[in-house]
Amino acid sequence: MYLFETMRLEAGKIPRYTYHQARLFNSAGQLDYPLTKETFERFIQSIQQAHPTGTHRLKVMLEPSGTLTYQCVALPNKSHFTAKAQQINTDYPKWQYINKTSHREHVEHDHETDVVLYYDNKGKVLEFDIGNVLIKENGQYYTPSFENDFLRGCMRAQLLDEEKVKEKDYDISELKRKLKAGEAEIFLVNSLREVAEIEINL
């Protein structure tokens, strides 16, 4: 199993780099993966120097040994995703839901839609399989509160820190009703795509 961060590399720069670094080191500490900031920063700088132009999807992986590897590919221009709602599988250990590891079985799906909006067995809306949830209601943006029940994304963290978003929980039935009535809008947020439109199958 490896830890990873998926980042937007644009013209040699990584938006939200400090958020990605903090999340990776937090997970490495929890799971006892050795890594120093000096090693990580040198590694990232070498990637930035190798890709000074263009917009890329950068995936940095950390092995249990402390070895770093990466994949860097051109990022396709996509800002609209189809989605469906589905209850999340709760059969896996808690660390798997809150850390970004190669064990992602809990959010695997059949790809009938681009992404899936997950909710728990109590109906609380949690996350998309590739990002966090952003809901617009009455001119205000909201995102579900974190209760050790989903992966906290870097874009979500930045929006909260900048006070552009507030935490508010939604029940899936309530959300479906509001979306159908046009009382709310839903978006996917992640550090790669930033904010993407969602067409959800209700």
Taking all residues of the chain, what is their mean pLDDT, rounded to a whole number? Answer: 97
40: three-class secondary structure by DSSP? helix
Q: What is the pLDDT of residue 125?
A: 98
| Across 156-162, average pLDDT | 98
CB 142 within 8 A of CB 132: no
Distance from C-alpha of 179 to C-alpha of 175, rounded to nearest angstrom: 6
Confidence of residue 179 (pLDDT cuts 50, 70, 90): very high
Q: For position 54, what pLDDT does the model report? A: 95
* Cβ contact 90:120 at 8 Å: yes
Residues in the chain: 202
Strands (E), 38-104: 55-62, 68-74, 80-87
- Residue written as token pair 């490495």: 28
A 10 A CB-CB count for 143 gives 26
Residue 78 confidence (pLDDT) = 86
Quick: pLDDT tens for 13-47: 999 999 999 999 999 999 999 999 999 999 999 99
What average pLDDT does this structure show over 161-176?
A: 98
Q: Which of 6, 36, 1 minimizes the C-alpha distance to 19?
A: 6
Tens-place pLDDT, residues 81-97: 999 999 999 999 999 99
Containing 6, the helix (H) or strand (E) segment is: strand 3-10
Q: What is the pTM of this model?
A: 0.94
Give me the amino acid identity at 168: K
Instruction: Give Cα 201 distance to the centre of its chain.
Output: 21
Mean per-residue pLDDT, 130-149: 97
The pLDDT of residue 77 is above 90: no
% residues pLDDT > 90 (the chain):
96
User: Is the per-residue pLDDT at 145 higher than 90?
Assistant: yes
List, in order, residues 6 or more apart from 111 with CB less than 8 Å away. Answer: none
CB 195 within 8 A of CB 134: yes
φ, ψ for residue 128 (rounded to 5)?
-90, 165
User: Given this model, what pLDDT does residue 202 score?
Assistant: 81
At 180 the three-state DSSP class reads helix
Q: What is the arithmetic mean of pLDDT over 106-131?
A: 96
- Token pair, residue 66, equals 């402390």
- Three-state DSSP at 153 gives coil
